[in-house]
Chain A
Amino acid sequence: MSVNKHCTGIRRLRTAAGVMSMLASGLVAADELNMRVGVTDISRQVYDLHMLILWICVVIGAVVFGAMFWSIIHHRRSAGYQAAHFHENTRLEIAWTIVPTLILIAMCIPATRVLVAMYDTGGEDMTVEVRGYQWKWQYKYLDEDFDRTFSFFSTLTTPIEERHNLSAKGEHYLLEVDEPLRIPVNKKVRFLVTSEDVIHAWWVPDFGIKRDAVPGMLNELWAIVPEPGVYRGQCTELCGKDHGFMPVVVEVMPQADFDAWYASKLVAEQERQQLESMVFTHEELMTQGEAVYTKFCASCHQPNGQGVPPVFPSLVGSKVATGPRDDHIRLVLNGVTGTSMQAFSGQLSKAELAAVVHFERHSWGNNTDDLTQPVDVANAAASN
């Protein structure tokens, strides 16, 4: 640990020195210094506009500061220069009022053009609702029949060890999610941005689009992305403690791949809805659960739940069977490596698994007050 710290300290100093000399020699990568061009037509127009204004400012700055520094060098008391006495020149003042005005008007023309282009929201091929939460994004797809098809959350997956400097940071540190937004290439996608709680903002720099997500209000945004790839952005409106930890990741896919993925999501959603509609009563769960328990579990954990400790733990008043329900479900789903407790996800249907977990949580004096339905098993499995 201490050796690491020592090396880190020296590394930091070297990095600092390295960065400074890199900057001094002008070798820093150009794309780090400047706004990116992005991949859409709009982002390219924005970049060009940005460069135009930047160059105008640089030229004006060079002229103005040039004159100033010339004066500093030549009009100094220490060089014996005598002060002149003029203190007004109306023609000059009018000139340097009118010329900047003309320059500004010239800037307005391309700026207006690009803004009008950005506001052209008609004719979309696809619509996705983007909903900001503290602290993650939710994406909902609407199909051609305008029915809500499916939705999912997109949450940061950078491990806490990386954030607390206990392990090396991955390439996409803080810009990686469990499930990105997926859209097809070359289609006009409309994003409807809103929020669940506070104001967030959705930004994909490579598309040149950003919009605030305001609760109770729907904002429209669109993009046509001609290049497949993964594009990363972040929330850009302070929204609470994890504002810096809710990235935006969009995967743009070739149409065929997108269609395949979309179809698979529809199937998964159908399954999920079926499961959700399977809602059993406590009695039904106990009856089925007992049957499953007798067949799959009793041989080790015994019909009375007491097991044969320490090899086969007791379930009576156990931390697992009376603790958090989802942890209990996951243990049965995934087993415990290094022991004889198998992963039952392959052997039991979600309904059976739900029933047996429920049975364990309500037998032999275990008296948790939760129900375990098949959809809970699906959810616990998904949030592994």
Chain B
Amino acid sequence: MSEVVEAHAGHDDHEHHGPAKGLARWLFTTNHKDIGTLYLWFSFTMFLIGGVMALIVRAELFEPGMQFVVPEFFNQMTTNHGLIMVFGAVMPAFVGLANWLVPMMIGAPDMALPRLNNLSFWILPFAFSIMISTLFMEGGGPNFGWTFYAPLSTTYAPDSVTYFIFAVHLMGASSIMGSINIIATILNMRALGMTLMKMPLFVWTWLITAYLLIAVMPVLAGAVTMMLFDIHFGTSFFNAAGGGDPVMFQHIFWFFGHPEVYIMILPAFGIVSQIIPTFARKPLFGYDSMVYAVASIAFLSFIVWAHHMFTVGMPLAGQLFFMYATMLIAIPTGVKVFNWISTMWRGSMSFETPMLFAIAFVVLFTIGGFSGLMLAITPADYQYHDTYFVVAHFHYVLVPGAIFSIIAATYYWIPKWCGRMYDERLGKLHFWLSFIGVNVTFFPQHFSGLAGMPRRIPDYALQFADFNMLSSIGAFIFGFSQVFFLYIVIKTIRSGKPATDRVWEGAHGLEWTIPSPAPYHTFTHPPRITDAEAHS
């Protein structure tokens, strides 16, 4: 992908002869661009694998009755679809984008800890091989939902659960190390003149996300360690018989789990905040409030976790607190949506593919936000909890939310990464297929949830049939469009038209001042920060 840079006269002592050749390059690289590439390809692969699992689920749910799989296997598919998408697709994709973009955006030559960076990546294929291999073990793979509540995931779990725990530990370690790297880079390696409030918003969102990750991934590690002890060493953290409490598992899990979902969306906010100003040819509206909004969302994310547990039997005071705190998050989130629209307002907009995905993000993520607000209302949540209404909500914020932002980022920055433009017609086609697919898949799920269809069931009563059929059709359309996306990406890399350095007329930021494709080593000498190159 990156071109080899010929040694310049007057260069430092480090005479680079470009990247190594062959497999060794990818195994041992400490270059942030290579590692970004590795993360992105890894996440795309996991996205397709998790997608196949989703299609198995949707195929079974196409009609009432059991047609293709048995319930035990169905539960493994829903569980692993969730685990792979959360930990294998969305998170590594954002880390890959961070690796590629953060050093360039702040004028740094690489990440603060390049070798740790390599390790952080290579842990992941190892961890996911373990996790996916559990599907082929005796007793099957994890079948207790991606949220793995005890005691279903402890006393009643298949034997492979120990491997699952090990894989989770590995993924967590990778995330923590990657986050330490990102924070160290951002805090210490910005070029002179790039103050914190001049950083591109994408860098801000990643700075805050990295702190969230360091705060909560260890809590997840604690939860699965307690599970491990309950399963193998006779403790009773979550076992009522020994004086433990299954509900405590939920508290600990969601203390991680809620910040986790913000971890999965804040970088998306950052991406969209880069793309919209470019295609509106207008600076981001309200940069300062955008930063404060992200910080408030991150802070609030720590005090709302029990809104995932409204039906567990908490006392009234607890229910009220979590309801109010959850509703509060709508305020900074709303501020961000208004600011994006104000950026567009009276801009001079063009609608290339990245902009299409970014606009769809704003609309559809907001719809997901509205269903989230409805879910926050505790008495109403008794009717929504554990139904497809919840499934619709989180897929709206994750698919046309996080995933669309990653796709938008790919279209937007791939000319910088590989020096070639994607085919605009194909990109637009991909956009419309995805947009239609995502809505046909997930909008009907609001209705099946309201009609009373529970989550995580392989078969359902007849009144849910129409919406399920529609949803399954949409799923296959969406799935096909992502394979089409793979084709577009490969075609771009191999035979796209050469790209200019600036690529996009309205683009601002340090990454657009260097050649396309970006040289293997960039900003080996720190750049001078002018206002033109500060945040857009």
Chain A interface residue count, Cβ-Cβ cutoff 8 angstroms: 101
B-side contacts of A87, CB under 8 Å: 282-287, 343
A-side contacts of B328, CB under 8 Å: 104
> Is B462 in contact with A169, judged by CB distance below 8 angstroms?
yes
* A171, A173, A214: the one within 8 Å of B247 (CB): A214
Stretch at the interface among B129-137, B331-339, B420-428: B331-339
> Is A76 in contact with B338, judged by CB distance below 8 angstroms?
no
Is residue B498 within 8 Å, beta carbon to beta carbon, of the partner chain? Answer: no
A-side contacts of B461, CB under 8 Å: 172-175, 232
Measured in the bound complex, the distance between the Cα atoms of B345 and A220 in whole Å is: 52
Can you list 12 residue pairs at the A/B interface with Cβ under 8 Å?
Answer: A28-B466, A49-B380, A76-B350, A87-B282, A89-B342, A165-B66, A171-B462, A199-B152, A203-B454, A205-B452, A238-B145, A242-B71
Is residue A216 within 8 Å, beta carbon to beta carbon, of the partner chain? Answer: yes
Stretch at the interface among B105-113, B166-174, B359-367: B359-367
Q: Which residue of B lies closest to A20 (CB)?
A: B470
Measured in the bound complex, the distance between the Cα atoms of B288 and A101 in whole Å is: 20
CB of A135, distance to nearest CB on chain B (Å):
10
Top-3 shortest CB links A-B: A216-B240, A244-B457, A83-B348
Is residue B373 within 8 Å, beta carbon to beta carbon, of the partner chain? Answer: yes
* B330, B335, B379, B462: the one within 8 Å of A173 (CB): B462
Is residue A107 within 8 Å, beta carbon to beta carbon, of the partner chain? Answer: yes
B-side contacts of A67, CB under 8 Å: 341, 345
> Is B452 in contact with A233, judged by CB distance below 8 angstroms?
yes
* B363, B383, B452, B473: the one within 8 Å of A50 (CB): B383
CB of A101, distance to nearest CB on chain B (Å):
6
> Is B335 in contact with A78, judged by CB distance below 8 angstroms?
no
Stretch at the interface among B175-183, B265-273, B317-325, B480-488: B317-325
Is residue B144 within 8 Å, beta carbon to beta carbon, of the partner chain? Answer: yes
A-side contacts of B380, CB under 8 Å: 46, 49-50, 53, 111
B-side contacts of A65, CB under 8 Å: 363, 366
* A212, A236, A245: the one within 8 Å of B387 (CB): A236
Measured in the bound complex, the distance between the Cα atoms of B331 and A104 in whole Å is: 9
> Is A19 in contact with B282, judged by CB distance below 8 angstroms?
no
Is residue A240 within 8 Å, beta carbon to beta carbon, of the partner chain? Answer: yes
Measured in the bound complex, the distance between the Cα atoms of B327 and A197 in whole Å is: 34
Is residue A15 within 8 Å, beta carbon to beta carbon, of the partner chain? Answer: yes
B-side contacts of A267, CB under 8 Å: none
Known contacts: A84-B282, A116-B316, A174-B461. The answer to whether A244 contacts B347 by CB under 8 A is no
Chain B interface residue count, Cβ-Cβ cutoff 8 angstroms: 96
Measured in the bound complex, the distance between the Cα atoms of B382 and A199 in whole Å is: 16
Stretch at the interface among A30-38, A300-308, A364-372: A30-38
> Is B460 in contact with A93, judged by CB distance below 8 angstroms?
no
Kindly name the residue among A12, A77, A101 whose own CB sees the greatest number of chain B CB atoms within 10 A. A77
A-side contacts of B362, CB under 8 Å: 68
B-side contacts of A100, CB under 8 Å: 330-331, 334
> Is B347 in contact with A75, judged by CB distance below 8 angstroms?
yes
Is residue B234 within 8 Å, beta carbon to beta carbon, of the partner chain? Answer: no
Measured in the bound complex, the distance between the Cα atoms of B207 and A110 in whole Å is: 39
Known contacts: A100-B334, A115-B320. The answer to whether A236 contacts B386 by CB under 8 A is yes
Is residue B311 within 8 Å, beta carbon to beta carbon, of the partner chain? Answer: yes
Measured in the bound complex, the distance between the Cα atoms of B346 and A219 in whole Å is: 56
A-side contacts of B335, CB under 8 Å: 93, 96-97
Is residue B6 within 8 Å, beta carbon to beta carbon, of the partner chain? Answer: no
Q: Which residue of A lies closest to B344 (CB)?
A: A71
Measured in the bound complex, the distance between the Cα atoms of B466 and A43 in whole Å is: 25
B-side contacts of A23, CB under 8 Å: 470
> Is A101 in contact with B331, judged by CB distance below 8 angstroms?
yes
* B320, B337, B349, B459: the one within 8 Å of A174 (CB): B459
Is residue B451 within 8 Å, beta carbon to beta carbon, of the partner chain? Answer: yes
* A53, A71, A77, A118: the one within 8 Å of B377 (CB): A53
CB of A92, distance to nearest CB on chain B (Å):
8
Q: Which residue of A lies closest to B249 (CB)?
A: A199
Measured in the bound complex, the distance between the Cα atoms of B156 and A62 in whole Å is: 48
CB of A244, distance to nearest CB on chain B (Å):
3
Known contacts: A53-B374, A241-B75. The answer to whether A16 contacts B473 by CB under 8 A is yes
* A15, A75, A115, A243: the one within 8 Å of B457 (CB): A243
CB of B165, distance to nearest CB on chain A (Å):
18
Is residue A324 within 8 Å, beta carbon to beta carbon, of the partner chain? Answer: no
> Is B349 in contact with A72, judged by CB distance below 8 angstroms?
yes
Is residue B447 within 8 Å, beta carbon to beta carbon, of the partner chain? Answer: yes
> Is B466 in contact with A211, judged by CB distance below 8 angstroms?
no
A195-224 CB contacts (< 8 Å) to partner B: 197-199, 201, 203, 205, 208-212, 214-217, 219-220
Known contacts: A84-B346, A238-B455. The answer to whether A214 contacts B466 by CB under 8 A is no
> Is B386 in contact with A237, judged by CB distance below 8 angstroms?
yes
Measured in the bound complex, the distance between the Cα atoms of B368 and A159 in whole Å is: 38
* B67, B285, B338, B454: the one within 8 Å of A236 (CB): B454
Known contacts: A75-B346, A83-B347, A241-B75. The answer to whether A57 contacts B370 by CB under 8 A is yes
Measured in the bound complex, the distance between the Cα atoms of B466 and A28 in whole Å is: 10
> Is A163 in contact with B459, judged by CB distance below 8 angstroms?
yes
Q: Which residue of B lies closest to A242 (CB)?
A: B71
B-side contacts of A245, CB under 8 Å: 71, 459
B-side contacts of A45, CB under 8 Å: 379
CB of B21, distance to nearest CB on chain A (Å):
44
Is residue A88 within 8 Å, beta carbon to beta carbon, of the partner chain? Answer: yes
Is residue A319 within 8 Å, beta carbon to beta carbon, of the partner chain? Answer: no
> Is A64 in contact with B338, judged by CB distance below 8 angstroms?
yes
Measured in the bound complex, the distance between the Cα atoms of B67 and A162 in whole Å is: 11
B128-167 CB contacts (< 8 Å) to partner A: 143-145, 149, 151-152, 155-156
> Is B246 in contact with A215, judged by CB distance below 8 angstroms?
yes
> Is B246 in contact with A64, judged by CB distance below 8 angstroms?
no
Is residue B463 within 8 Å, beta carbon to beta carbon, of the partner chain? Answer: yes
A-side contacts of B288, CB under 8 Å: 88
